[in-house]
């Protein structure tokens, strides 16, 4: 059982839902990232999505794009991101880390080398935004051979026949994008999300995380009632953006406590 699967199994046994915060590696400065990862765990993260900065983050909204730009000022490349995961693993062997990013940095490194380094660094899952299942067969096999989970997105426009195809290749959990648009876009329609998540459950028993529109404790609570995991990205990055080095950890943890309480109240 992978680290991701065992987290979901444990939570399920406890009747709890997962809280998955997203941060971009190297934002606001590379020195902050590893301490932030530990701070997130301390404040209740069950799993962490760590964004790999990219110059052209097409599927992200302005908030996460700015995070990428801040990180890239410090030449925050994929190798450095993997080194951060390795540093985090020195004192944490339980919290899964999912890398979220785009195909080009992986292809620039070479997918085989990336998978080997990711394995060595203690990465648990990889979500490559612009790798739909049709375009990443070899990469997916390489990840599977290394026991790293392949996380795939499902969107409001994904047809059931396509969900079938994606479910076959996905491992760990499925990430349902709660709205039409980019990360951090308009408010999600909870009734629609509920219906879609119910439909997806008819096709798979894999855990389902929901993200792209969770803005506050209220939406986190609503999503937790439906999904197995709540992913909070842009809101988390906003907390980082509006902090300085002195109150960064405190602000991020305050937001985490709020979200944790909301999710656990379900």
Partner 1 sequence: MQVYDMPDEHGHFGPFGGVFVSETLVEALDELRVMYEKYRHDPEFLAEYAYDLKHFVGRPSPIYHAKRLSDKVGGAQIYLKREDLNHTGAHKINNTIGQALLAKRMGKPRVIAETGAGQHGVATATIAARLGLECVVYMGAEDVKRQAPNVFRMKLLGATVVPVESGSKTLKDALNEAMRDWVTNISNTFYIIGTVAGPHPYPMMVRDFQAIIGIEAKEQMQEMIGRQPDAVVACVGGGSNAMGIFYPYIDVEGVRLIGVEAGGHGLSTGQHAAPLTANSPIGVLHGNRTYLMQDEDGNIIETHSISAGLDYPGVGPEHAWLKDINRAEYVAITDEEAMAAFHNLCRTEGIIPALESSHALAYAEKLAKTMSPDQVVLVNLSGRGDKDINTVARLANISL
Catalytically active residues are 49, 60
Cα torsion 25, 222, 150, 46: sign: positive
CB of residue 91 vs partner 1: minimum separation in angstroms?
A: 27
Among 75, 145, 192, 250, binds partner 1 (CB under 8 A): 75
Q: Are 51 and 24 in contact (CB under 8 A)?
A: yes
Is residue 187 involved in binding partner 1 (CB under 8 A)? no
Stretch that binds partner 1, among 2-10, 15-23, 49-57, 85-93 (CB under 8 A): 49-57
Stretch that binds partner 1, among 55-63, 89-97, 217-225, 242-250 (CB under 8 A): 55-63
For 110-169, the DSSP string reads -HHHHHHHHHHHT--EEEETT--GGG-HHHHHHHHHTT-EE-EEE-TT--HHHHHHHHHH
CB of residue 167 vs partner 1: minimum separation in angstroms?
A: 12
Is residue 185 involved in binding partner 1 (CB under 8 A)? yes
Alpha-carbon gap, residue 190 to 131, rounded angstroms: 27
What lies within 8 Å, CB to CB, of 27 at 6+ separation is: 33, 51, 53, 67, 68, 70, 71, 237, 240
Q: Are 104 and 54 in contact (CB under 8 A)?
A: yes
Is residue 184 involved in binding partner 1 (CB under 8 A)? no
Among 67, 166, 208, 256, binds partner 1 (CB under 8 A): 166
Alpha-carbon gap, residue 69 to 54, rounded angstroms: 8
Stretch that binds partner 1, among 9-17, 18-26, 97-105, 213-221 (CB under 8 A): 97-105
- The neighbouring-strand residues paired with 21 are 232
Site of tokens 């979500």: 127
Cα torsion 33, 46, 205, 114: sign: positive
Is residue 92 involved in binding partner 1 (CB under 8 A)? no
Is residue 241 involved in binding partner 1 (CB under 8 A)? no
Among 74, 92, 130, 206, binds partner 1 (CB under 8 A): 130
Hey, what's the torsion of the CAs at 48, 54, 59, 63, to 10 degrees? 70
Alpha-carbon gap, residue 86 to 95, rounded angstroms: 13
CB of residue 195 vs partner 1: minimum separation in angstroms?
A: 17
Is residue 164 involved in binding partner 1 (CB under 8 A)? no
CB of residue 212 vs partner 1: minimum separation in angstroms?
A: 9
Stretch that binds partner 1, among 36-44, 123-131, 218-226, 251-259 (CB under 8 A): 123-131
- Catalog residues that contact partner 1 under the rule CB under 8 A: 53-59, 61-62, 65, 69, 72, 75, 77-79, 102-109, 129-132, 134-135, 152-159, 162, 166, 177, 180-182, 185-186
């Amino acid at each position: 059982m992978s680290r991701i699967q065992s987290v979901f199994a444990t939570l399920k046994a406890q009747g709890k839902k997962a809280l998955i915060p997203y941060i971009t590696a190297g934002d606001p400065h590379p020195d902050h990232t590893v301490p932030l990862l530990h701070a997130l765990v301390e404040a209740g993260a069950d799993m962490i999505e760590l964004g790999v900065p990219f110059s052209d983050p097409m599927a992200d909204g302005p908030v996460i794009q700015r995070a990428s730009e801040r990180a890239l000022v410090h030449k925050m490349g994929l190798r450095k991101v993997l080194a951060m995961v390795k540093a985090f693993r020195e004192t944490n062997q339980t919290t899964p880390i999912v890398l979220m990013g785009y195909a080009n940095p992986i292809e620039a490194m070479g997918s085989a080398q990336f998978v080997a380094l990711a394995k060595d660094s203690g990465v648990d899952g990889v979500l490559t935004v612009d790798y739909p299942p049709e375009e990443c067969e070899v990469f997916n096999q390489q990840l599977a051979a290394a026991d790293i989970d392949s996380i795939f997105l499902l969107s409001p426009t994904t047809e059931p026949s396509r969900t079938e195809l994606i479910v076959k290749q996905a491992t760990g959990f499925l990430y349902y994008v709660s709205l039409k648009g980019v990360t951090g876009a308009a408010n999600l329609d909870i009734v629609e999300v509920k219906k879609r998540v119910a439909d997806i459950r008819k096709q798979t028993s894999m855990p389902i995380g929901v993200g792209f529109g969770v803005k506050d404790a209220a939406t986190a609570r609503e999503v937790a009632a439906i999904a197995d995991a709540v992913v909070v990205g842009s809101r988390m990055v906003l907390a980082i953006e509006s902090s300085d080095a002195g109150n960064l950890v405190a602000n991020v943890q305050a937001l985490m406590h709020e979200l944790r309480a909301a999710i656990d109240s379900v």
